[in-house]
Amino acid sequence: GSHKNAPYFLSPPSSQSFVPSSLELPCHPLRPNLVTVTLERDEYIFILKKVPAEICDNCGEYYLSDVVTEQVLEKA
């Protein structure tokens, strides 16, 4: 089933591509913070700094809300 309100995952800064999550619920516990997001589109690489996200204290993965994801994709 689809989790319509589940956040999307963007790959960590060490990776060079946008990777949507499988729409599974995120890790826990999460804490708000600002992250650097790296996206790849065609032959271009976009680096966006100070993007609001929720970060997992256990694994370090970060998650963006639907609204923030839309804003990030519009900028790239």
Residue 46 φ then ψ, to 5° = -110, 135
Using a cut of 0.75, tell me whether the model's pTM lies above it: no
pLDDT digits (tens, 9 = 90+) for 10-48: 445 444 344 444 445 557 788 999 999 998 888 989 999
Residue 10 φ then ψ, to 5° = -110, 140
pLDDT digits (tens, 9 = 90+) for 47-76: 999 999 999 888 888 999 999 999 998 887
Confidence of residue 8 (pLDDT cuts 50, 70, 90): very low
pLDDT for 76 equals 74
